[in-house]
Amino acid sequence: METASLDTAPAGVDTRERILLAAEQLFAEAGFDVTSMSAIAARAGVSKANVFHHFTTKHDLYFAVLRAACRDSCAQLGALDDTQLPLAEGLERFARSHLGKMLEHEPVARLVLRELLSEGGARRGQELAEQVYGENFGRFVALLRRGQERGELRADVDPAMVATLLIGANVFFFEGRTVLRHFGEVDFADDPGRYSGMLVDLLLRGILPAGRGPGTPAPEKHPNPSDR
Amino acid sequence: METASLDTAPAGVDTRERILLAAEQLFAEAGFDVTSMSAIAARAGVSKANVFHHFTTKHDLYFAVLRAACRDSCAQLGALDDTQLPLAEGLERFARSHLGKMLEHEPVARLVLRELLSEGGARRGQELAEQVYGENFGRFVALLRRGQERGELRADVDPAMVATLLIGANVFFFEGRTVLRHFGEVDFADDPGRYSGMLVDLLLRGILPAGRGPGTPAPEKHPNPSDR
DNA sequence: AGCCCGCCTGACCGACCGGTCAGTTGACCG
DNA sequence: CGGTCAACTGACCGGTCGGTCAGGCGGGCT
């Protein structure tokens, strides 16, 4: 059952990943404290003692899940800084991609966001987001800065501020959309494409140099999600 | 000990609020699941059984804390919609006030934000934020819409989107500042006044009608926090 | 063969959880 | 004075938690 002749279980290393998967799902659903090791073991189809055989402690397992999740979710965002797109298009592409990835991997995103609020954010959030997210943030800021040097961005704005604003808008949409949905004034809570469109539209007209409008004076009056 | 002659303990109703206060602090620090009723009782200086005498269940106590917290934090934001300020100033004032209140009542804010991610957000978040935060959001959007009718706001932007973007930026600053602090590119993580200034600057130049700049062509190159 | 060593399990432990209960106190009312 | 009731307490309950332990199993090395 382990000579790799079967399609399901190549070796004992497989159960380790089954445990990781089960833990990721359960942690993301209910959080660290509510999820019990017994439940993880049950979903993974192994004994609880076996979980402790692979991961010395509950926190150890949690960090392993967090690390793997961040690695996966970040690896997919790296392929946009080499493109020499005009800034407007690069921004739009990044915004859509970033929000899309969050929505696509909702459990993991919730897991990471919850970690931010967990008062250990000063310590855990530092080492985690610093190691993993800091890299992507830096790349994004560098992209903006290059655009700024090329004159596509107002000279008196802070690229880091622009990046923070865009990422923050996406994060808030992600975590607040269930509430936004019930605000009568909001009609974009279920349409991330439209949200991204309006977001970069708002952002651009504030970012572009004063006398320098985008190619078309009014690029899209009602940014429709027809490109999806 | 209850004839109101003493300065400390007017009556038995006082312990109820001591319990509420202790619960608010502990829930905000560590979350619902981690906080034990024993710990709440200990901090309140009463027996655990007494806590259960005043609140039938742990969830009951939690909801009481949540309700009181939202009531308090929202009551302070209501006094800005009657002002007939120019839009730019109203925006700036709202942004600063909103972010300030969050930072000022950090434990409560964390408590509410955590509730958003708690997968029951579809139900609890609805009834909670809909009842309490929906009102303020609506007032803010109405303020923007009035400014739009007066021509101070581009006609083709969604006021609800502007409100979402501003509030989202504030929320993200609040929950992310401990991580932002460690990004070398960010130098505003510890200066909410500067953040608000840059935020509305970015927002405004995207909001104002095309041919209609603010009173001064470049209102502030480096928005310094000297007004604090 | 004999041995070893990862992988894995059921049974178990002490600690702590949310919640209950019998009972004490003390103010108020007749 | 006795009776009532809310406020309050210490002791306690069943259950679950994270984590441990002794040992079974089975394949690979010598």
**Token pair of A226 as six digits:** 């027809």
Q: Could you give phi then psi for residue B59, rounded to 5 degrees?
A: -65, -40
Confidence of residue A152 (pLDDT cuts 50, 70, 90): confident
DSSP B145-176: HHHHHTTSS-TTS-HHHHHHHHHHHHHHHHHH
B7 min Cα distance to partner chain A (Å): 35
Q: Closest partner residue to A161 among B30, B113, B188, by Cβ?
A: B188
Task: Say which residue, B8 or A17, is predicted with more confidence.
Answer: A17
Task: Say which residue, B218 or B51, is predicted with more confidence.
Answer: B51
Among residues 55-114 of chain A, which lie with CB inside 8 Å of chain B? Answer: 110, 113-114
Name the residues contacting strand D (CB < 7 Å): A 2-3, 35-39, 48-49, 52, 56-59; B 12-13, 15-16, 46-50, 53-54
Compare all CA atoms of chain B with the CA of A170 and give the residue at the minimum distance: B168
Q: Please report the beta strands in chain A, taking only residues with DSSP state E, as ranges in sequence order.
A: none
Compare all CA atoms of chain A with the CA of B194 and give the residue at the minimum distance: A161
pLDDT tens-digit profile of B104-132? 888 888 888 888 777 665 566 556 666 66
Closest nt by CA–C1' to A44: C8
State whether residue A36 is helix, strand or coil: coil
**Average pLDDT of the residues of chain A:** 79
Q: Of all helices (H) and strands (E), which one includes residue B24?
A: helix B13-30
Task: Say which residue, A148 or B195, is predicted with more confidence.
Answer: B195
pLDDT tens-digit profile of B131-186? 667 777 888 888 888 888 888 888 888 999 999 999 999 999 999 888 888 888 99
pTM of the model: 0.80
Give yes or no for A217 touching B (CB within 8 A): yes
- CA at B52, C1' at D10: how many angstroms apart? 14
CA distances for B21 relative to A5, A226, B45, B108, angstroms: 62, 51, 11, 11
Confidence of residue B71 (pLDDT cuts 50, 70, 90): confident
Give yes or no for A39 touching B (CB within 8 A): no
Judge whether residue A18 contacts strand C, using its CB and a 7 Å cut-off: no
CB contact under 8 A, B138 and A168: no
Residue B217 has pLDDT above 60, yes or no: no
Q: Closest partner residue to A126 among B30, B33, B182, by Cβ?
A: B182
A10 min Cα distance to partner chain B (Å): 35
Q: Looking at residue B5, what DSSP letter applies?
A: -
How far apart, in whole angstroms, are the C-alpha atoms of residue B160 and residue B148? Answer: 12
Q: Could you give phi then psi for residue B200, rounded to 5 degrees?
A: -70, -30
Residue A134 has pLDDT above 80, yes or no: no
Q: Could you give phi then psi for residue B211, rounded to 5 degrees?
A: -85, 15
